[in-house]
Structure 1
Amino acid sequence: IWLARNRATFEKKMIKTPFEIVFSMCSFLLYWTGLQQGEDAKKLRAGAEHIRAGTMQMMKLCDGA
């Protein structure tokens, strides 16, 4: 959220949808996964993938409305 706010404030990049923020968060989580080891990395990757999958389902519901 903080990075999205900074982009909007300082770079004048408008946030078109809240989904942008969630996908950005997932990208950071997946990047962070690479810095972890063992079971922590697996759990973090699985969590990021679940969040991304849920967000994609939510996008489909919103587009269908």
Structure 2
Amino acid sequence: MGQGEDGESQLHPGGRSASQRGGEKSGGGGSSSERTKDDLYQEAKKGGVEGHSSMSKQQLKNALGH
């Protein structure tokens, strides 16, 4: 069950479970709507966005132009 003809799992894209992906999302699209608050926070921190530490996810998206 859940195995294709080649023996790879059909349940997870890429054939890896979430734990095997290290918590990565299976979509891999990387669009801002899928990014975590921590991803946005780190980008804002690197980009020198003032006040990033107290921003909500939506505020971070707006400040980064996403």
Fold shared per TM-score above 0.5: no
Compare relative contact order (CA 8 Å, sep 6+) and give the higher one, 1 or 2: 1
Structure (1 or 2) with the greater helix fraction: 1
TM tier, shorter chain? under 0.3
TM-score (norm 1): 0.26
Q: Which has the larger radius of gyration?
A: 2
